[in-house]
Amino acid sequence: MNASIPNKMTAIEAQGTKADNLAVVERDVPTPGNDEVLIKIIAAGVNRPDILQRKGLYPAPPGASDILGLEASGTVVALGKNISSLKLGDEVTALLNGGGYAQYATVPATQCLPIPSGLSMIEAAALPETFFTVWSNLFDRAGLKSGETLLIHGGTSGIGTAGIQITSALGVHVITTAGTDEKCNACLDLGAKRAINYRVEDFVDPVREFGKEHTGVSGVNVILDMVGGDYVQKNIKSLAPDGRLVNIAFLNGSKVELDLMTVMLNRLTLTGSTLRARSPEFKGDIAHKLEKNVWPLLKSGRISPIISSVFPLEKAGQAHSLMESSRHIGKIVLQT
């Protein structure tokens, strides 16, 4: 590697399951493989899977760094021998397999994207995990189309704020749930046409009415759910015929009891996915679609990442505590 790259770096290591067990340590700077680049990290996004990994519930896949962090922005400082798509000095935002809570990280070149013009490094660090997840699950997996209706649970989460903006900009009618009136208003500001405070109102009937209002059919076409548990049966009741339910997390639990009669009668599709273990080729395909379909929306300012808070890298524990409190609206970012 370049002689200007140090041998050691500062990183954050999970030395227990609690937020205050995140410790500042010294690690070796990783060396990129043949199809990878080394990024000098400027900022890294904080995501729910990081919380799960810290708790020992979401281990890194084979070959991935055990350091937390699934997205980062920074500068390319070293290239694997097979890399021709990027050059030294390129500023990128990248979907990582791990290693983002550090000063340097390696990543397959296919998982890097240019930073959209007008965005800061901090804003760019908040893009990959949520944008890749939204595109892969809603457009590729669920086949969401312009003119359809969509329910997003947790509208002020990182996934929610990205999902509302992307889908609204592409012609989808969005309804969402959130836990306070303030959060509901934030969802409306981002482009949702209706926001339900789930603490004071059950969402099933309003969602069914929303679908009828916009498509003439009771229920929505697609639901993106991060809650699981008792929400699953309610989601099934909220779907229009031929509707699709996509689960990407299960804050209320993964084991549920279902009445499959509604699924059969309404020809529903229940699906879900995780992204981290998928191949660089799979993630690279999503990156290509994002650059073609979503990056122009970022460049034009029609959509933008919503940043809740920025913490210095060594305060990663505080960032995790904020995420676990659910008081934030949008993304939490660490700055190296």
Residue 9 and residue 26 in contact, taking contact as beta carbons nearer than 8 Å: yes
- Which has the closest alpha carbon to 100: 165, 12, 172, 26? 12
Q: Are residues 283 and 171 in the same domain?
A: no
82 in any annotated domain: yes
248 in any annotated domain: yes
Distance CA 255, CA 234 (A): 15
* Residue range(s) defining the domain that contains residue 82: 8-127+276-335
* pLDDT per residue as tens digits for the range 38-62: 999 999 999 999 999 999 999 999 9
63 in any annotated domain: yes
Count Cβ atoms below 10 Å from residue 54 Cβ, excluding itself.
Answer: 23
- pLDDT (0 to 100) of residue 251: 86
Query: Looking at 221, 254, 272, which one is the last position of a domain?
Result: 272
* pLDDT per residue as tens digits for the range 114-163: 999 999 999 999 999 999 999 999 999 999 999 999 999 999 999 999 99
Query: Looking at 272, 295, 327, which one is the last position of a domain?
Result: 272
- pLDDT (0 to 100) of residue 1: 59
Residue % of the chain over a pLDDT of 70: 99
- Which has the closest alpha carbon to 67: 107, 39, 27? 27
CATH code: domain of residue 331: 3.90.180.10
CATH code: domain of residue 141: 3.40.50.720
Q: Are residues 257 and 159 in the same domain?
A: yes
CB burial string 227-249: b at 16+ within 10 A, e below: bbeebbebbbebbbeebbbbbbb
Q: Does residue 2 carry a pLDDT above 80?
A: no
- pLDDT (0 to 100) of residue 3: 60
In this structure, the strands spanning 149-152 and 239-247 are: unpaired
1 in any annotated domain: no
213 burial via Cβ count (<10 Å: 0-12, 13-18, 19+): middle
Residue 114 and residue 89 in contact, taking contact as beta carbons nearer than 8 Å: no
Distance CA 241, CA 262 (A): 9
* pLDDT per residue as tens digits for the range 188-224: 999 999 999 999 999 999 999 999 999 999 999 999 9
Residue % of the chain over a pLDDT of 90: 95
58 in any annotated domain: yes
Question: Would you give the DSSP letter of residue 125?
Answer: H
Mean pLDDT score, 16-25: 97
* pLDDT per residue as tens digits for the range 103-114: 999 999 999 999
Query: Looking at 272, 293, 321, which one is the last position of a domain?
Result: 272
- pLDDT (0 to 100) of residue 38: 98
Query: What rounded mean pLDDT belongs to the chain?
Result: 96
Distance CA 76, CA 41 (A): 9
Give me 20's structure tokens.
Answer: 């205050």
- pLDDT (0 to 100) of residue 179: 96
